[in-house]
Structure 1
Amino acid sequence: MYRQPFPRRLYIGGILYLPLLLFSTANRIIAVHPKISISPSGQSIAAMSSQSQPPSPPLAKKVKHKMELFGDVRVDNYYWLRDDSRKNPQVISYLQQENAYTEAIMSGTKKFEDEIYAEIRGRIKEDDISAPLRKGPYYYYARTLEGKEYVQYCRRPIPNHDAPPSVHDTMPTGPDAPPEHVILDENVKAQEYDFYRIGAFKVSPNHKLVAYAEDTKGDEIYTVYVIDAETRAPVGKPLVGVTSYLQWAGNEALVYITMDEILRPDKVWLHKLGSDQSNDSCLYHEKDDMFSLDLQASESEKFLFIASESKITRFVFYLEVSKPEDGLRVLTPRINGIDTSVSHRGNHFFIQRRSDEFFNSELLACPVDNTSATTILIPHRASVKIQDIQLFSDHLVVYEREQGLPKISIYRLPAIEEPLTSLQGAQAVQFIDPVYSVDPSESQFSSTILRFSYSSLRTPPSVYDYDMITGESVLKKIETVLGGFDASNYVTERKWAAASDGTQIPISIVYQKNLVKLDGSDPMLLYGYGSYEVCVDPDFKASRLSLLDRGFVFAIAHIRGGGEMGRQWYENGKFLKKKNTFTDFIACAEFLIEKKYCSKEKLCIEGRSAGGLLIGAVLNMRPDLFKAAVAGVPFVDVLTTMLDPTIPLTTSEWEEWGDPRKEEFYFYLKSYSPVDNLKAQNYPNILVTAGLHDSRVMYSEAAKFVAKLRDMKTDDNMLLFKCELGAGHFSKSGRFERLQDDALTYAFILKALNMIPTSGSALN
């Protein structure tokens, strides 16, 4: 759990399901219509917006709050905006005023924004299903219905399910097919709430029960329900106040994780169906506040793995599913600086191990009955990073990264009863785009069929089944994009920009070849992140077509601090090297201008969460370089937050940013923390967003940044702040609601570039 742009992958009955469940918002408590907000002058902002002159922005009151450490004094006049209860009337009033001001400033282009929303929504095939996954006697999939915000979780029996699977298998449909059964309908559940998100959906091994984790606020605190898969009848009482880490331990027990008061996953529990939650047994309590717990199931379904992890250390316990009463056993010991992830097949555990020496990871195996007797299967390679592995009864799939691009390598394993001493003859899966994204998807452990998801900047999300024996690959599902989309109209490129120290930074680029001139006159949106070793791979986003089809160039700067180029790429963008993240981004922007992809007057930038920190930092460093900036749920009050161990995530992230209770880190963090480095200068047009119930980046960081910037900036450019009063970190929960965020962002960018038509269609 960290300040990331994307949530963890969600498996629906075994299906990796991304398109409809990525983001969230809404909770009606304290939601007051923004038009009743009152400006500091006492006049309603909505009323002012109808007058000829633009309304005055809200001015947050100043209350001096002095902070002193290492002889350094900082004054935060807007510290009062932080309210852990989210109920302070003065805070809520200020947020409402900011929302009303944003609405007023954008009111003149509201029709255009609505047209963009309709345009984006018009590309979606509203009635659709995900690629069915064959699992046991059923096909599992998710269905969407026309006009409905949420999904249905479904399954259909497989005729002759004992026959071996094939890449050519298709789920039977039509009047003679076995009937579809809707296990759970989110649309029905969500009727009671303004926000609704399922964070885990787990089918029991015998396929008779389903456990799912439900969040109805956006704060990522879940309630787990167990239902009968056929009748939907509840089984036992719900588990409350838990995380979305949830696994079955056989057919009659669940393992789950809870959090402490700062929302750190710290305890793992065993729950027997039919018993009260108060009687659950605690399998492990992690008391070190630098560590958080993780929970995964082996592909073989014979073991559960509980990991305790910090940013540099990870150690693993295992629980035998058939004997949960035996409790946890140590698989990899706790050794500072050693990071391990594990899997299981037959008589062996497979261990992915990383350290300072083996920074891109090596792969080991050890017998289940002798975990100290390890054998190296794939040695460490300085140029290739092992990202993940996936085990099958006869194959090992290794997800790797080389030169910033993902790879899939497949190894045939010896028979389970044979010794496992080495791997022979890697088989590589081939991809066609110059830049692309590949993600593992759940597959049947006993089969020879690998399922993975593929996408590129011009290729919609696609699900493939790959026969690991024959090498045959079959497209099972590609996201339908309506509205005449033709991938051949778009060009994807990969370029390299030289950073200030000479490091080559990869950039992924896409544009509409019939519209872009590449003479410096084209508008551009440049996206960046650069933290937590996260790989922001170049994947497809249908709503982005609303920019590309207006002649925009879109680019992703794969800057240091991310993981695209291996572990050292991350290490060189954290701690006392964090500024490399920002200077890399600036170097990419300057390169794109030099190569005439855009100009300063046409360059817009965007980042979310820790990427919002990036945006805030580069705006302070080079405000002249950009025309407009969008900072989503931005982590901009870095020093104050990292000095406060009562805020969620702080203690576990001292190994990411540095512990500012130490003088060296204090002054380094202060030197780039966006709130602390705002100054009296001209800034470009800026849109900032936040969520009141965000547990990863508090809404107050964005609020303080905007309030202080309003007071200090010397320009007349737009500075807009929108806080979703019912949202968490991932915006609205409905799939159509979520599109409103993109419509606002695009309307803001086009308004800043003076590209909004005075009449006619939204699409020029």
Structure 2
Amino acid sequence: MTIRYMMLAGVALVSTAAVAQVQPPRVAKKPFQVTSPNGAREDDYYWLRDDTRKNPEMLAYLAAENAYADAELASLKPLQAKLYEETVSHIKQDDSSAPYAKNGYYYGSRFQTGADYPILERRKGSRTAPAETLFDEPAMAKGHSFFALSDWAVSPDNARVAWAEDTVGRRQYVLKVKDLATGAAIADTLSNIEPNVVWADDNKTILYVEKDPVTLRGYRVKAHVLGTPAASDRLLYEEKDDTYSMGVSRTADDKFVCIGVSSTVSDEQRCAAAAAPTSFTIVAPRAREFRYGADHIGNRWIIRTNKDAKNYKLVTVADADLAKGTAAWRDLTPASDTVFIEGFKPFEGFVAIDQREGGNRMIRVLNDAGKSTAVTADEPAYRMSLDVNEEIATPWVRYTYGSLVTPTTTYEVNAKTGERRALKVAPVPGYDPAKYVTERVWAPARDGTRIPVSLVYAKGTKRDGTAPLFQYAYGSYGISSDPAVDPGRIDLLDRGVVYAIAHIRGGQEMGRGWYDDGHLLNKKNSFTDFIDVTRYLVAQKYAAKDRVAAMGGSAGGLLMGGVANMAPADYKLIIAQVPFVDVVTTMLDASIPLTTFEYDEWGNPAQKASYDYMLSYSPYDNVKATAYPALYVGTGLWDSQVQYYEPTKWVAKLRELKTDKNPLLFRVNMEAGHGGKSGRFERYRQNSEWQAFMLQQLGVAK
């Protein structure tokens, strides 16, 4: 059959007629110069940026890409549906959480069968008391194509709850409040805020972070008194430096409200009595390459800091000595080259420490007498992390444990006796951990660095160089990729796919130096680490050279773009979700959300050395006339983190220059932002599309 097109402003649109062979859409080139202090660059697809998201020519192109993806994936619909059903079969639909105690109530959540969103509830005095609904999210989400209830907080007197919700996906939250006795909404609402709300002790004042309406940067902390107009909200703090983000919180003992500001290389925290949060005292003034975070218990502060400790340490200072500055800080833990302190939680009589060593995340308890006790694990690659611990007058510490084989289990351990008890094992119907194997291997990078890799595969999968490999990584911002059982991955393993997490430099799996070696002028290490892991796994016969799929999202999508340019022949398929691929242009534009926060992550292109280095790896700028692997690219029109036009331009340029005939599919979610559509099942429904495409490309039997 012949193909018919409708032409609109240079965009080829597939007609509604049935077609046997659909050609990829093309989009008009419109010359445009992106200027900078260090030179100008031609960008023929710059016009695809429309901050209003209303340009009909741009929208027509996105529609054409979606239509092309629909046509190319049509034959995979049965497999897509099968994968989705298999995934859902591993989800306990009427699941509930392990309740936690706070201020006289037990809080928890539960899902009803078939529901995309949970019901949040509390019980007074005991876990078996009658349930009181805080949020009926399924009802709240009705009528919205996107819904996210983020931060929420109950007033100290337990009478009201304030929360932040988003019904667009652009992370511009609205603050709302309701009376818990009646369930009635209180008239006060505040728009364009961060998902971060804190009550003062008077039960009527709410502290929140206001966003800049253009950059969406949280830059002001205000206090809103219920029953008063938003215009009269008191400004408590405004951050003038646009490289800092901010948040507001209460200390573990609830005595103080703190405003924290943070950049990649610096922190500053100011705190005030929660009874009257108006006069704030700085814990320690900011300085470049000085980071810290403070919490309070009893009559002292406990602080996690990198002062004289690259991998962080814990220090303490008495209330009476706080004004003396860092000279009064006293070490609780020593500096270490091998142990990286991720976080901590103070309790009466001890501190629970969340740390990393040897690529794994673990928990240890340090009592006030100085005795340290580690919580042990039996697997080679795993993750422990502190869970919700709202009560500090208890010896019990809640934490979670999981691996690529073991479902996430919530435990509590007694800091005095060492007794451990399981509170909840995440149910995974139809899953038997004994059928799978997890390994930790160390892949040599080209500079000699050993890269930790977490592996999982089904028992019986032959290590003979024939298996398909699905490799994932993130590797930016010091964010580590920890192993966990994923219901959406089980049936890939059952089909013989080997799954690998490459813990590349740019994360913090191996400490702060691991991050330093993977950002700024060392960013290319992230790309080459990923490639070298792939080559190692192939050489060690975990996988076939021509059956490797790679995936990353957001900054991990930048990784995918870099890998596609640097080593296209090593991959059969690359999946890039909401990818940050137009690095230089974005970092030149301070009006784009996140740009100014991230000069110390990527570099400031106003500086020549940074400009040249970023330009040398920016995926969009380095697309060339060569053969690329098959590509699946995803974005959301309302994304505020990585704007939709970055992957859109990248796809357009790839279509123009790539010399292969491998499929390039671009899925644009027109009703969502950075995280895609909301809802627990919707995520798996979306994932089943690229999973089906991946299995097809890897030659895996359906």
Pick the aligned partner of 2:221 from 268, 276, 281: 268
Task: Answer yes or no: is the 8 Å Cα contact 1:99–1:722 preserved in 2.
Answer: yes
How far does the alpha carbon of each residue in 1:457-508 deviate from its partner, in whole angstroms, 9 at most, with x for none? 11122211111111111111111111x2100111000000111110110000
Aligned match of 1:718 = 663
Aligned match of 1:495 = 441
TM-score by length of 2: 0.96
Give the drift of 1:239. 1.7
Task: Answer yes or no: is the 8 Å Cα contact 1:37–1:100 preserved in 2.
Answer: no
Pick the aligned partner of 1:462 from 405, 409, 413: 409
Question: Counterparts of 1:336 and 1:627 in 2: how far apart (Å)?
Answer: 43
Q: Summarize the Cα distance change of 1:139–1:95 in structure 2 as closer, same or farther, 3 Å threshold.
A: same
Q: Classify the secondary structure of the residue corresponding to 1:535.
A: coil
Question: Counterparts of 1:692 and 1:681 in 2: how far apart (Å)?
Answer: 29
Aligned match of 2:466 = 521
Aligned match of 2:692 = 747
Task: Answer yes or no: is the 8 Å Cα contact 1:448–1:469 preserved in 2.
Answer: yes
Q: Does 1:593 align with 2:548?
A: no
Task: Answer yes or no: is the 8 Å Cα contact 1:639–1:669 preserved in 2.
Answer: yes
Aligned match of 2:142 = 191
Aligned match of 1:410 = 365
Give the drift of 1:135. 2.2
Question: Residue type matched to 1:480 in 2?
Answer: P
Question: Counterparts of 2:624 and 2:693 in 1: how far apart (Å)?
Answer: 24
Pick the aligned partner of 1:368 from 294, 313, 319: 319
Q: Does 1:538 align with 2:538?
A: no
Question: Counterparts of 1:320 and 1:203 in 2: how far apart (Å)?
Answer: 18
Give the drift of 1:430. 1.1
Give the drift of 1:138. 2.0
Aligned match of 1:327 = 279
Give the drift of 1:756. 5.0
Pick the aligned partner of 2:499 from 554, 576, 579: 554
Pick the aligned partner of 2:263 from 285, 310, 321: 310
Aligned match of 2:423 = 476
Aligned match of 1:621 = 566
Aligned match of 1:761 = none
How far does the alpha carbon of each residue in 1:187-246 deviate from its partner, in whole angstroms, 9 at most, with x for none? 111112111001112122222211111000001111111112232112341122111021
Q: Classify the secondary structure of the residue corresponding to 2:320.
A: coil
How far does the alpha carbon of each residue in 1:16-39 deviate from its partner, in whole angstroms, 9 at most, with x for none? xxxxxxxxxxxxxxxxxxxx9957
Question: Residue type matched to 2:14 in 1?
Answer: I
Aligned match of 1:279 = 232
Worse overlay, 292-301 or 693-702: 292-301
Q: Does 1:436 align with 2:436?
A: no
Task: Answer yes or no: is the 8 Å Cα contact 2:11–2:28 preserved in 1.
Answer: no
Pick the aligned partner of 1:233 from 184, 187, 191: 184
Pick the aligned partner of 2:110 from 97, 118, 143: 143
Q: Classify the secondary structure of the residue corresponding to 2:219.
A: strand
Pick the aligned partner of 2:525 from 571, 580, 586: 580
Aligned match of 1:3 = none
Question: Counterparts of 1:306 and 1:613 in 2: how far apart (Å)?
Answer: 32
Aligned match of 2:301 = 349
Query: 1:35-434 to 2 correspondence within 5 Å?
Result: 38=6, 45=14, 47=16, 50-52=18-20, 54-69=21-36, 72-159=39-126, 171-172=127-128, 178-250=129-201, 251-260=203-212, 261-324=214-277, 326-355=278-307, 357-371=308-322, 372=324, 373-413=328-368, 423-434=369-380
Question: Counterparts of 1:216 and 1:126 in 2: how far apart (Å)?
Answer: 24
Q: Classify the secondary structure of the residue corresponding to 1:689.
A: strand
Give the drift of 1:663. 0.9
Q: Classify the secondary structure of the residue corresponding to 2:521.
A: helix
Give the drift of 1:455. 1.5
Question: Counterparts of 2:27 and 2:11 in 1: how far apart (Å)?
Answer: 14
Question: Residue type matched to 2:47 in 1?
Answer: W
How far does the alpha carbon of each residue in 1:429-467 deviate from its partner, in whole angstroms, 9 at most, with x for none? 112221112222222111111111222111122211111
Question: Counterparts of 2:436 and 2:38 in 1: how far apart (Å)?
Answer: 56
Question: Counterparts of 1:588 and 1:44 in 2: how far apart (Å)?
Answer: 41
Question: Residue type matched to 2:207 in 1?
Answer: V
Question: Residue type matched to 1:376 in 2?
Answer: D
Q: Does 1:569 align with 2:514?
A: yes
How far does the alpha carbon of each residue in 1:333-358 deviate from its partner, in whole angstroms, 9 at most, with x for none? 12222111011110001111114x42
Question: Counterparts of 1:207 and 1:520 in 2: how far apart (Å)?
Answer: 60
Question: Counterparts of 1:407 and 1:291 in 2: how far apart (Å)?
Answer: 29
Question: Residue type matched to 2:578 in 1?
Answer: V
Aligned match of 1:637 = 582
Percentage of matched positions with identical amino acids: 39
Give the drift of 1:70. 6.0
Q: Does 1:700 align with 2:648?
A: no
Q: Summarize the Cα distance change of 1:289–1:37 in structure 2 as closer, same or farther, 3 Å threshold.
A: farther
Worse overlay, 226-235 or 393-402: 226-235
TM-score by length of 1: 0.88
Question: Counterparts of 1:67 and 1:148 in 2: how far apart (Å)?
Answer: 47
Question: Residue type matched to 2:366 in 1?
Answer: Y
Question: Residue type matched to 1:542 in 2?
Answer: P
Task: Answer yes or no: is the 8 Å Cα contact 1:37–1:96 preserved in 2.
Answer: no
Give the drift of 1:43. 8.0
Question: Counterparts of 2:534 and 2:698 in 1: how far apart (Å)?
Answer: 17
Question: Counterparts of 1:467 and 1:204 in 2: how far apart (Å)?
Answer: 29
Task: Answer yes or no: is the 8 Å Cα contact 2:38–2:608 preserved in 1.
Answer: no
Q: Classify the secondary structure of the residue corresponding to 1:576.
A: helix
Task: Answer yes or no: is the 8 Å Cα contact 1:461–1:478 preserved in 2.
Answer: yes
Q: Classify the secondary structure of the residue corresponding to 2:589.
A: coil
Give the drift of 1:271. 1.6
Give the drift of 1:721. 0.3
Task: Answer yes or no: is the 8 Å Cα contact 1:298–1:344 preserved in 2.
Answer: yes
Task: Answer yes or no: is the 8 Å Cα contact 2:147–2:168 preserved in 1.
Answer: yes
Question: Counterparts of 1:42 and 1:378 in 2: how far apart (Å)?
Answer: 62
Question: Counterparts of 1:718 and 1:196 in 2: how far apart (Å)?
Answer: 33
How far does the alpha carbon of each residue in 1:661-701 deviate from its partner, in whole angstroms, 9 at most, with x for none? 11111110010000000111111110000011111100100
Task: Answer yes or no: is the 8 Å Cα contact 1:46–1:100 preserved in 2.
Answer: no
How far does the alpha carbon of each residue in 1:532-588 deviate from its partner, in whole angstroms, 9 at most, with x for none? 000111112111112111100000000001111100100011111111111111110
Question: Residue type matched to 1:280 in 2?
Answer: D
Gaps of 5+ in 1: 1-35, 160-170, 173-177, 414-422, 758-764
Task: Answer yes or no: is the 8 Å Cα contact 1:303–1:321 preserved in 2.
Answer: yes
Aligned match of 1:26 = none
Q: Classify the secondary structure of the residue corresponding to 1:364.
A: strand
Question: Residue type matched to 1:428 in 2?
Answer: A
Question: Counterparts of 2:591 and 2:12 in 1: how far apart (Å)?
Answer: 38
Question: Residue type matched to 2:316 in 1?
Answer: A
How far does the alpha carbon of each residue in 1:155-209 deviate from its partner, in whole angstroms, 9 at most, with x for none? 12235xxxxxxxxxxx33xxxxx32221210111111211100111212222221
Question: Residue type matched to 1:511 in 2?
Answer: Y
